[in-house]
Every structure is written in structure tokens, then in C-alpha cells.
A and B are shown apart, each in its own frame.
Chain A
Amino acid sequence: MKLIKTILIAFVLLGLIWVDLPESIKTKYKIPDKVDFNIFGINIKKDFTTKLGLDLKGGSSLIFEANTSKIKKEDLNDALNSARDVIERRINFFGVTEPQIQMIKTGDKYRLSVDLPGINNYEEAIKLIGQTAQLTFRELPDEKIATTSPIFIQLTRDTGLSGIHILKSTVEFDNQTGKPQVGLKFNKQGTNLFAAITKRNVGKPVGIFLDSMPLTTPTVQTEILDGSAVITGNFTTDEAKKLTIAINSGALPLPIKLVEQKNIGPTLGEIEVKKSVYAGTIGLIMVLLFMIVYYGRLGLIASLALIIYGLISLFIFKAIPLVLTLPGVAGFILSIGMAVDSNILIFERIKEEQRKGRSFDIAVKLGFGRAIDAIKDANITTLTVAFILFNPLNWEFLPQFGMVRGFALTLAIGVATSLFTGVVITKRLINIFYKN
């Protein structure tokens, strides 16, 4: 029984170390930093890499404000969501890994915060994101050229019909087949234009382009006079929905204005991280030394517990995954302090009980029991503060920006973990070390 327990603990510890190992360390053996397997038909996929925030990794952080004055209230949500989707698509087009796009509502103002880690070509990014989505309809040019290039490349002539002519685009379902299709409704001018376009293009393709990217290239079946059209194709409901959002975003242009941009060069961030990690390591070693010198064997145990604490916290950071920023690091440092505090509290209590003439065994028991009150009260208060600062329900009147939240999140994780290691692990370790 005992052996099984020990083996289990050893496995958990190895697992923690495996996940926590910095990616930059190269070993002779290739250590995978991903989990990807099937169990009971469920695919478990997780990669354990440290995600650094913009202030550490470098990159651009942009905040846009949406001009909602021209949008009707009931369309506002649609428009904002489409704008968000369009921006996301444009960013993906730009090749950013893990962009973060967040909608922030303050009063009656809507802002989009866009984080582009690792992107320093911010001028271009801003231009790309800031433009209003443009939906255009194109047809084949008059002169026929024999070519094998795809249809959408051949569609070069602009028909003059564009997003401003579309009233609305919706997902519809075919009466006979039940297949999803995309319906378009044009305004008066659009109806006339569309009628003319379909008349001269029967049997020919007409392309719908968003930001010069082809969305779809349906072939015109018949002349359409009533200003409504459907795009059929082998859509799934989801695809049809995405297409309507894309078309609506072209149809409901939501002008956005850049109100904040921050750009941190990659070298600056890297130097800062290197220096801080170096300094943090030295600080940590000093803490461990201090504990061992002052508390002797108990200090050694506390140091071990602290290292395990560090491993668990780092594991949680990587598993969530949490984007580590400078304020996040501050929250973590604070929680280290509180973790050490739990141990010191317990040890001082144990010493106190020993001074009262109690045997070590009983002193440990009493010390833990008594210290737990103080630890509990202190940590619950801190968790309350972290909870409010983190603003989990995304309330408008509380901080919605990443910085304060990053701080609160690492603090909360740190404190919760320290409650566990400071009490459970330290007690276990004391039992192991003092039994023999």
C-alpha cells in the first residue's frame, strides 16, 4: 500500500517536472511538450508551453473604438460580432499566432482590444485591421480568354454592386432539400443593379468577394428582379452562418478608430525577461538559504514544499494556459511570499508549543492545528480581493483590462496552491522526515 502511494507520488512529481521544464532546455532525448491521445473516444490534446504576454514577449497591442452612431440598436450586436469576426479573419490572414481579441463595453462605448504577440510590423497591422470590410460582386470580363486558372481569378470586372447595397443576409433552408443556403436582400438601387447583372450573366459565374478574398462564386441560374437572391452550395449550417456574418459585416460597415496602440520590440522584452528571471532565481535561492539557516531541518522541509509549490503553480499556469505578464509575475511573487508565510507561521507555532514543554510530535500536531486559523483567515481575505479584481463576470464597472486581471489571477492561483502545499505537503514531509 505504502509502496503504491510512493510510486504514485513519484509519478505525479515527474509529470509536474516534465510539464514545467523550460522549452529552451535541449536534452539528448527529445521531450515532447504536447499531450495528444485518445482515451474512451475522447481526444485529449494539450500543449504545455509558457505563454508570455506582450509586455514580456514583444508585440503590438491595439485598442479600437467602434463608431456605433450609424447603427440601429437592434443590429448593434450583430454588427459588433461581425466586426470582431472580420478583424479576426484579417489577423489570421496576417499570420499572427494566438491573437487575442476582446470586446470591451464601457458605458455606451464599444472597444475592441486586439493583442498581436510577436508582431512588430504594427503599421501594416493597423492598416489591415482598420479598414472597413468591403463586399464586392465581380463578373467575368467581356473578352474571353482561354485559361485554366481558377474561376475567382478570372472574375476581375467589378459590377458596381457592393456591400452598401445589401440590406441583410440570412441563413435560409431550401424548401425541398432542407439544405442550408444563404439569402441576400438588396435595397432598391441594389435590386436594379443585381437585375442587370444577373440578366447579362445567366449561366456564368458571379463572384462575391470580401476584402478581395473570394467568399463564393455561384453560377447565375436565372435573371433575378425582386432584389433577393440565394446562394446555394454544399454548406453546412455553420458555414452558411459564417458566410452571412461575413456578408453582413460588409453590409453593415462599422467604422472603427484606433485609440491606443502599444508596441514593444522583441529585443526589449527578451532582455527584460532574461534579467528578471535571473534576478528572481537569485532571490528565490536567498529565500531558501535563509529558511534553511534559520529553521534548520524544518527550513529544509519548507524549502522542499516551496519548490513543490513552484512546480504546481507553474503547471497550472501552463495547463490553463495563462498568459504571463509583468503584473502577473508580481502577483506570483506576492503569492510566494504568502506561501513562505504559511510555513513560517506553522514553524513558529511548533516552536512555541515546544517551548511550553510539549514533545515534538504533539507540538507538530498542535502547531498545525493552531496555525491553520490564521492561515485560513489571511488567505481567504486575499482570495476575496483577487476575486473582485479578477472580475469573473466581466462586470462593466470593474476592471476589464488584462493587467489588473492578470495580477489577480496569478495571485489567486498562487494563494490557493500555497494553501495546499503549505499545509498538506509540509505536514506530509514532516511526517516522512521525522518518522525515521
Chain B
Amino acid sequence: MINFLKYRWLYFLISTIVISAGLFSITKWGFRYSIDFTGGSNFEFQMNKVVEKSKLQKVLDLNKISVISLKQQDKNIFLRTKVLDQNKELLLKKDLEAKLKIKITVLRSETVGPVLGKEAIRKTLIASILAIIGILIYMSFAFKGFNFAFSAVLAMFHDLLVVVGTYSLLGHFFGAEVDTMFVTAVLTTMSFSVHDTIVIFDKIREYHDEQGSLEMESASNQALTETMVRSLNNSMTIVFMLLALTIMGGSTIRFFILTLLIGTVTGTYSSPFVATPILVWLEKIKKK
């Protein structure tokens, strides 16, 4: 048996550092929001030859387009603007083609009004809260105690903070945008986190029940020793999938998969090193 819980200060420190870094980034740099949330238009045009950026800019200015960002990669341009309606978009495309003597293929074109994204977020939030209440109720029944459920949900919030915080860092340094896909990734992380924690708690419950006199702490240590290989192996398999997708998958899902990867790692980490110490601590308080 390994005394995992002896090093709980270390786990606390690691979690604090990671979460603080994320919170720092959120307060300092915030997030980059995609048009799903801010409203606006996104275009990806493919031109039949490379055109200088300054020339592009000039045509955009002439059309009085309020450009938020303009990026260029070989023959592809990525343009983000304030909401551009259908007609203006068409005029712009024609004007670009005429003035720069090019042909444009529209690879992607998105226009979103600002209300929709906020609504989606609000609804997803309500659904998540309901889901958390569902988890609390089910776990309280299954484990015959609120402390198990509460610790699992706290660990889930820990993972939520880690994922959201690192995403702010990813946004600042690599340009990752908060979009609807990110919301899905956060939801995935939350379900995975609880799933993983339950497996360990199940073991703790078993040891605790089996040997009635056993303290929660030693039962937990025993359970952690037994489940550590399983936790690592299991996460390893998910990490394999996600790593392959991050490195070789398509570019539009890269940040999404990366978020899932971070979520899996923190979800695995938090079960033994966040949820379990909290559980042991709560049980100790209860005894007193």
C-alpha cells in the first residue's frame, strides 16, 4: 500500500498553481470569443492566386467594411468582420474579384447575430446545473452519503477551472477562440471527471464497508493503490486517441481536441488527488 494521501499538500500546490495561472490569464487577457458569442461574420476565401495583403485591405476599406481581423495563408484569406449581411457580402466578393483580378471560392462563410450565442450559453448552463443536481442525488443514494457526491462535484469544478483557465492561456498565446465546440469540450470533461471519480470512490466504499473499523484515510490509500494502474491505463487509452487527433486531425477541431486532452488529464488527476483528499477531510469533520 502506498500512502498517497501523505502528499496531499503537494497535490494542493499543483492544483493551486495550475488554476491560479488560468485565473490570472482570465483576469488579465480574458478570452477570445468566436462570432458564436459576439455576433459578426467570418469568411474563409480561397483565391486563385496570391494577392498582397495591403491590396486586400485597400478594397476592404473602400467597401467600408469594419474588419476585426484579416489573416492570410498562401491563397487563403481569413476575414472576420462585424455583422455583414448577405448583399454586402456578395458585393464585397464581386468587388474583390473585379479590383484584384482574381477568382474567389468561398470555403466558409458564417454570420451570427449576437443574441443566439448568449442564449445557447444560458441554456447550456441551466442544463449543466440540472445535470450536477442529478449527479448529487444519484451519488448520494448510491454511496449512501452526501460527502461522496459533494467531493466528486467539487473535483469536477476543479477540472472545470483547469480547462477554462488553460483555454484562456491557449487563447492568448495561440489564438484559440471560445466557440460552441469549446462548450461541448467542457461538458465532456465534466462527465468524464465524475465518471472517473466514481470508479475510485466505489473502491473506497468497498474497503470502508468491508473492514468496518478501517479509517476512511487508510481505506482511501488502499483504494488509490489498487486503482492507480487502472486510472492511468484508462486515461492512457483516451490520451492515445486524442493525441492522434490533435497531431493529425483537421485544423478546425484542433483546439477542441486539445481541450478534451487537457480535460482527460485533469479529470484523471483530480479523482485520486483532489476528490479523495476532500472526501477524507469531509469524513474527518463529520466524525468530530
Contacts and interface: CB of A to CB of B under 8 A. Distances in A.
Residue from A331, A337, A352, A411 with most neighbouring chain B CB atoms (10 Å): A337
A59 to B, nearest CB: 11
Contacts of A280: 241, 244-245, 249
Contacts of A106: 119
Contacts of B233: 290, 294, 344
Interface in A327-350: 327, 330-331, 333-334, 336-338, 340-341, 344-345, 348
B123 A268 contact: no
Contacts of B243: 283
B241 A381 contact: no
Interface string A4-30: 000000000000000000000000000
A287 B250 contact: no
Contacts of B97: none
Interface string B202-245: 11001000000000000000000011011001101110111111
A434 interface: no
Given A271-B250, A272-B253, A326-B256, A374 B135 contact: no
Contact of A340 (B44, B106, B234): B234
Q: Is the interface of A mostly helix, strand, loop or mixed?
A: helix
A298 B46 CA distance: 51
Contacts of B138: 380-381, 384
Interface string B157-187: 0000000000000000000000011011101
Interface string B182-208: 011101101110111011001100100
Given A278-B248, A279-B245, A260 B109 contact: no
Contacts of B109: 122, 261-263
Given A283-B242, A384-B135, A378 B250 contact: no
A276 interface: yes
A385 B120 contact: no
A320 to B, nearest CB: 20
Interface in A261-314: 261-265, 267-268, 271-273, 275-276, 278-280, 282-284, 286-287, 290-291, 294
Given A262-B110, A344-B233, A398-B127, A378 B184 contact: no
A374 B203 contact: yes
B252 interface: yes
B107 A385 contact: no
B187 A389 contact: yes
A388 B242 contact: no
Nearest to B116: A260
A401 B248 CA distance: 29
A398 B44 contact: no
Interface in B138-168: 138-139, 142
Contacts of A348: 226-227, 229-230
A126 interface: yes
B257 to A, nearest CB: 8
A35 interface: no
12 contacts: A261-B86, A272-B251, A286-B244, A294-B233, A326-B256, A330-B184, A334-B238, A341-B195, A381-B195, A389-B131, A389-B187, A399-B123
- Counting from the closest, the 6 A-B pairs by CB-CB distance are A272-B250, A283-B244, A283-B241, A279-B248, A374-B202, A337-B238
Interface of A: 55, 63, 106, 120, 122-123, 126, 258-265, 267-268, 271-273, 275-276, 278-280, 282-284, 286-287, 290-291, 294, 326-327, 330-331, 333-334, 336-338, 340-341, 344-345, 348, 352, 370, 373-374, 377-382, 384-386, 388-389, 391, 397-401, 403-404, 407, 411
